[in-house]
Structure 1
Amino acid sequence: MASTQSPADSKVFKFVPRRFVPEWLGSPWAWFLTRKLGTLLLSFAFLVVVTFSIVLLIPGDAARAAAGPDASLDVVEATRQSLGLNEPVWRRFLNYVGDIFSGTLGTSFRVGTVGEQIAVRAPYTLIVAGSAILITLILAFVLGVGVTVLTRDGRRAWLAQVFSWVTAVVDAIPVYVRGTLLIIVFALSLGMLPAGGAQQPSSFVLPIVALAIGPVCSLSRIVRREADSALQANYIRTTDGWRLAGRTVYLKYLLPNVVTAALTLSGLMLSGMIGGALVMEQVFSWPGLGTSVVNAIITRDYPVIQGTILVLGMVAVIINILIDVALAAVDPRHLESRSDS
């Protein structure tokens, strides 16, 4: 049974007089969300420092990269002056932070502000990645639990073997190879879908499938393993004596435990899909952030690299926080399990 001790009474506040502890911290959800907000802010501060350090650590002269390889020394010095690269590091850092909070995220060496470029390209990346994440969660649970139910107690052993073999093989194929194969089959051979670009709604299909199919296979194996372990637990076996309907057993007793375990393991996997989306965009000539980052690396447009990494890093952090919130909603014990950490 979960403890009824409020977070305000936990050892986190044992050296703090109760009159100095806000009453709202007595709610488990309030304390939980406060900690997650703290995690978000700390992650943001860390990413700001890391992305600012990129320009300092990357070899080469940023002013020379911005002015062009054939520019004269005078032009390079003028470029360095206009970009503020001759200022002390601390002042450049303050300017960078100011650009972040202003929403511009700095000025591109090529065209316009970084914020404007990200605002144009981010929807393409987020739609594909978000759709792939949603499809992954739904299909992985359906496939994992479905195969477990169909193969329960040693039935249909062939299905379990085929499922394990197929999902392992497909998951091992890199995302760029999966994307290339999808283009060959569905775009070039069958002519059913566009091979690239984002000119029509059907253009979204192949990038989403290429990004989602690997994580679906990986997560569905995790779900199947957790579901199989849950079916062997005593509390599930006890339900056989109660003569409960199979639907009741699976939905009321099996699914909540599987969801909790699978979500715990899927946080890093879903965050990794953001990185996979950047690779996928190169295969499908997708006008998202991945294409923008690659072009920025080629042209050494450091502000674009900084801003894009900052945005993608925060997206990954937010995904993990949302996973934690979902876990707490499914199993309230997670509200208190880390309250003293």
Structure 2
Amino acid sequence: MTLPPAAGAVVHAPSTPSSEATDRLRLLVGSPRLAFVLRRLLRALISLVIVLVASFFLVHLVPGDPVRAALGPTVSPDTVEALRGQLGLDLPVAQQFGNYLGGLLTGDLGVSVTSQRPVAATLAERLPTTLVLSVLSFLVAALGAFPIGVATAVSARGGRRRGLDLGVSGLLGLLVAVPNFLLAVLLVYVFSVALQAFPPAGWGQPAQLVLPVVALAVGPLAYLARIVHVEMLRVLDAPYLTTARSKRLPARLLYLRHALPNIVAATLTAGGVVLVGLVAGTVLIETVFVIPGIGSTIVSSITAKDYPLIQGVVLVYALLVLAANLLIDLALAALDPRSAIAEA
């Protein structure tokens, strides 16, 4: 017979394997914040390993011979077999995977089947372009979202200007729903073909940055603006802001000091989603505008069945996405250390 706990006794919840592992990690490193960072790094490493294994074996399931596709149908079988042996593609898949992992540890990503160049060199040339496109688009989205979201929330506070609020919300929702590649085609038609204001393709000149950045940033800008709008409306009706408003504080002080700091966490979380989406969105935008970046590279490598190049591009995209998520987690932990300590 099990007796109930005595009055005033503290009942401890049964420990789980994850909580026990967390406690051991805390004791090992001696700092909850460091334990939080190490847990995040461990999760990122596990995710990266999963992506590497999945991408390698899925690529090898694609039908077709990458060497034959690279050399063409008229090349002799002996030439094809010689190149397959040179690239190690004649080995069993498990052995190829072991060689691939061994190369990764030394920074060797293999040799492209189509160009016969080291994959690392190709990625080093094209990665800066994708990073510039992603960062510029994120800055445009973030810098545009805050004023739009704050202004519409302030104007709609207390149910005022209901029509304006619904109109802006509807427009932002529409912009979020429009695919970026469709917007890119529309921008090219209007501003390159009809108005001839900007180049339709290419990269390197300032004018060639405008249309790709706008096409990639419009959807995230609208998404972030909706988040800022909703969070700002919630904060404006909070009791502490009503108290601050009753003290006749200037609008600049009221919104900048009391309102905006309380929407940063939610907006930063949404910003992480946006940043990851921007990195993935470069694939289509670079293809539409013929930009020599990582996105267009993965399209051409898939078409050519270039195994080493596909795996290298997937690795880079996985690293970018994981790094973006890690940075957002660390930024949120810096804003609210108590939540990081509790989670660690």
Q: When the two structures are superposed, what TM-score results if normalisation uses the length of structure 2? A: 0.87
1:257 equivalent in alignment to 2:280:
no
One-letter amino acid of the structure 2 residue matched with residue 30 of structure 1: L
Give the corresponding residue for 1:221.
226
Paired with 2:98 and 2:330, the residues of 1 have a C-alpha distance of 33
Pair 1:73 & 2:80 matched: no
1:48 CA drift (Å): 1.9
| Distance in 2, Cα, partners of 1:64 & 1:154 | 66
Match of 2:340 in 1: 335
Are 1:290 and 2:295 counterparts?
A: yes
Match of 1:21 among 28, 31, 47: 28
Which amino acid letter does the alignment assign opposite residue 292 of structure 1?
T
Offset at 1:102? 2.9
Go from structure 1 to structure 2 and tell me whether the alpha carbon gap of 1:17 and 1:69 turns closer, same or farther (over 3 Å shift). Answer: closer
Cα distance in 2 between the residues matched to 1:213 and 1:16? 46
Shift in CA distance, 107/249, structure 1 to aligned 2, threshold 3 Å: same
**Is the Cα–Cα contact under 8 Å of residues 104 and 116 in structure 1 kept in the other structure?**
no
Shift of 1:189: 2.3
Shift of 1:80: 2.4
> C-alpha deviations, 1:90-147, integer Å up to 9, x for none?
3212211232233331110022011111111111111001111122222212211221
| One-letter amino acid of the counterpart of residue 166, structure 1 | L
- Give the drift of 1:254: 1.8
Are the aligned partners of 1:66 and 1:79 in contact in 2 as well (CA < 8 Å)?
A: no
Q: In structure 2, what residue type is equivalent to 1:210?
A: A
Cα distance in 2 between the residues matched to 1:59 and 1:165: 45
The answer to whether the aligner puts 1:45 opposite 2:49 as a matched pair is: yes
Structure-2 separation of matches of 1:17 and 1:55: 37
The 5 Å alignment of 1:226-237 reads: 226-237=231-242
Q: Alignment partner for residue 140 of structure 1, among 145, 157, 177?
A: 145
Secondary structure at the counterpart of residue 21 of structure 1: helix
Q: How many residue pairs were aligned? A: 326
Contact 2:65 2:305 in 1 (8 A): no
Aligned CA distance change for structure 1 residues 334 and 186 (closer, same or farther; 3 Å): farther
Alignment CA distance shift 1:158-1:199 (3 Å): same
Mapped contact 2:25–2:35 kept (Cα < 8 A): no
Asked if 2 retains the 8 angstrom alpha-carbon contact of 1:55 and 1:62, the reply is: no
Moved more, 312-321 or 226-235: 226-235
Match of 1:33 among 34, 37, 42: 37
CA distance in 2, matches of 1:76, 1:145: 62
Q: 1:234 to 1:124 in 2, by over 3 A?
A: same
Change in CA separation of 1:148 and 1:337 when aligned onto 2, cut-off 3 Å: farther
Counterpart among 92, 99, 116 of residue 88 in structure 1: 92
How well do the aligned residues superpose, as a CA RMSD in angstroms?
2.3
Deviates more, 1:203-212 or 1:158-167: 158-167
Superposition deviation, residue 12 in structure 1:
4.5
Name the amino acid aligned to 1:188: V
Distance in structure 1 (CA, Å) of the matches to 2:43 and 2:195: 48
Corresponding residue for 2:214? Answer: 209
**Match 1:57 to one of 50, 61, 75:** 61
SS in 1 for 2:249: coil
Distance in 2 of aligned mates of 1:17 and 1:202? 52
Is 1:106 the counterpart of 2:113? The answer is: no
Unaligned runs of at least 5 residues, structure 1 = 1-9
State the one-letter code of the partner of 2:62: I
Residue 17 of structure 1, CA deviation: 11
Q: Distance in 2 between matches of 1:319 and 1:57?
A: 30
Structure 2 distance, partners of 1:330, 1:146, is 24
Q: Which sits farther off after the overlay, 54-63 or 221-230?
A: 54-63
Match of 1:4 in 2: none
**Range with bigger deviation, 166-175 or 265-274:** 265-274
1:194 to 194, 199, 210: 199
Partner of 1:277: 282
2:316 counterpart of 1:324:
no
Shift of 1:55: 3.1
Return the letter of the residue paired with 2:123.
Answer: I
**Cα deviation digits, residues 179-215 of structure 1 (max 9, x gap):** 1121122222222221110141221111011100111
Residue range with higher mean Cα deviation, 223-232 or 48-57: 48-57
- AA matched with 2:309: V
Q: How far apart are 1:14 and its partner, in Å?
A: 8.2
Rate the CA distance shift 1:17–1:323 in 2: closer, same or farther, 3 A.
Answer: closer
Q: 1:148, 1:15 → 2: CA distance?
A: 43
Give me the whole-angstrom Cα distance separating, in 2, the residues matched to 1:17 and 1:278. 39
Q: Is the contact made by 1:48 and 1:97 (CA closer than 8 Å) also made in structure 2?
A: no
How far does residue 284 in structure 1 lie from its aligned partner after superposition? 0.9
